[in-house]
Amino acid sequence: MKIAVCISNVPDTTTRIKTDASGQKIDLSGVQWILNPWDELALTRAIELKEQNVGMIDEIVVVMVAPSYGEATLRKALAVGADRAIRIDNDPADSYEAAFELASYFADQPADLIFTGIESADFNGSATGAMLSLLAGIRFMPGVSGVFLEGGQTIVHQEINGMSLRLKVSPPLILNVQKGIAIVPRIPAMRGIMAARTKPLTVLSPKKAGACAQVIAYESLPPKAAAKMIEEDNAAMLIEVLHNEAKVI
């Protein structure tokens, strides 16, 4: 079995996002890039599966659509335990462009299970996995909170309203993973960091579908006004404020 994990390179979640002088681009100077947290958990689970099912998983490939600065994140994925890395050399403007590149890749290089994180921590689009499914014609499982290999079968868990659903599925399949897929992301060990030096990282040319839209401007939202506290027994004041200040009644 071959597992592919689609990973996204995102700014550290504590980054203060600024735009450049044009107002149409994010200023990337000083941004610390990290492996998208959902994809990191997906990768962790893929590695656990390989460790727990000795000999059943031939390889784990990580695939990223990103410019060259994404390679540090790919090498971290290799240090954590992926066997090889693919970087498709494009800076996708939106989920569609990323999904298009991934679909082109998987048309050439199929995998039995393709993991996609439920969303990326930058644009939070939650769309790439589903778009990849449609573009590549590979079936799609949303909301996967667990994946197991049991007796030659692939079992996935989904969380639904207070219940856990156990499902038997047939690869090839895209698993859109969410909370629960793995508990703690894997930290790279020294052995892994050393091993990553010699693991292959291949750069592929993009197909360049073109983005769906062009950014006109990133605009800041007006700051939230401070909350006004009104004593609990002062209904008259509440009505007065809602009527005259907020003008909603």
Partner 1 sequence: MDFQFTEEQLMIKQAARDYAQRELWSDVIERDEKAIYPEKHVKALAELGFMGMMVSPEYDGGGMDTISYVLAMEEISKVDSSVSVIMSVNNSLVCWGLEAFGTEEQKQKYLRPLARGEKIGAFLLSEPEAGSDATSQHTTAVDMGDYYLLNGTKNWITNGNTASTYLVIAQTYPEKGHKGINALIVERHWEGISVGPHENKMGMRSSDTHSVMFTDVKVPKENRIGEEGFGFKFAMQTLDGGRIGIAAQAVGIAAGALELALKYAKERKAFGTEIINHQAIAFKLADMAVKVENARNLVLKAAWLKDQHKPYGVASAMAKLYAADIAMQVTTEAVQIHGGYGYVKEYHVERLMREAKLTQIYEGTSEVQHIVISRALAKGELLP
Which residues contact partner 1 (rule: CB under 8 A)?
72, 75-76, 79, 184-185, 187-191, 193-194, 197
Q: How far is the CB of 187 from partner 1 (least distance, A)?
A: 5
* Minimum CB distance to partner 1, residue 218 (Å): 25
- Of 39 and 101, the one with the shorter C-beta distance to partner 1 is 39
Tokens of 132: 């990849």
Shortest approach of partner 1 to residue 198 CB, angstroms? 12
What phi, psi does 12 have (nearest 5°)? Answer: -50, 140
Considering the complex, what minimum distance in angstroms separates the CB of residue 191 from partner 1?
6
The DSSP result for 136-184, as a single string, is: HT--EEEEEEEEEEETTEEEEEEEETTEEEEEEE-SSEEEEE-TTS-SS
When the beta carbons of 32 and 164 are compared against partner 1, the nearer one is 32
State in angstroms the smallest separation of the CB of 30 from partner 1.
Answer: 14
Q: Which is nearer to partner 1, 191 or 247 (CB)?
A: 191
Cα torsion 157, 158, 161, 163 to 10°: value is -10
Report the nearest approach of partner 1 to the CB of residue 35 (Å).
10
Residue 16 or residue 197: which is nearer to partner 1 going by CB? 197
Give me the residues paired with residue 63 across strands.
6, 86
- Report the residue number, 175 or 186, with the smaller CB distance to partner 1: 186
> Which residues does 189 contact at the CB level (< 8 Å), separation at least 6?
79
DSSP per-residue codes, 196-231: HTTS-EEEE-------S-------PPPPPPPPPP--
- Residue 72 or residue 203: which is nearer to partner 1 going by CB? 72
Nearest to 39 by CA among 119, 149, 124: 119
Q: Which residues of 106-127 are buried (b: 16+ CB within 10 A; e: fewer)?
A: beeeebebbbbbbbbbebeebb
